[in-house]
Amino acid sequence: MTRKEFEKKRSLWLKEWNEKWRVLDIDFETYMIMNGMTKDEYRKLNENIITINRDYIDDWINKIEAINKKEPRTYNSYFEGQLKVLKEIQNL
């Protein structure tokens, strides 16, 4: 399984979490093992990764930029710093 396929499975598990897996107390590792992955393969694919929800990042960038357009006087260095970090994350 590729890293991309692994992350697709993680996204699916997260979408189904509240309705299905939370009630059964199934974490992502158990979910993947139930779907035929070995523990070693899971550990290899899961180690040292950072997942980025690009839609979430894009939404926050749009919100911060909208605040700046709507109320430039209230736009401050805090928002500026957040915007810089979000754009850096977006470019990963």
Q: What pLDDT shows up at residue 37?
A: 93
pLDDT band at 74 (very low <50, low <70, confident <90, very high): low
- Smallest Cα–Cα separation from 7: which of 53, 66, 58, 40? 53
Please check whether residue 60 is in contact with residue 79, taking contact to mean a CB–CB distance below 8 angstroms: no
Give the model's pLDDT for residue 55. Answer: 85
Residue 84 has pLDDT above 80, yes or no: yes
- Asked if residue 30 lies in contact with residue 48, where contact means CB atoms within 8 angstroms, the answer is no
pLDDT attached to residue 50: 66
Give the total residue count for the chain. 92
Tally of CB atoms within 10 A around 37: 19
Alpha-carbon span 90 to 52, nearest angstrom: 8
CA distance 30 to 22: 12
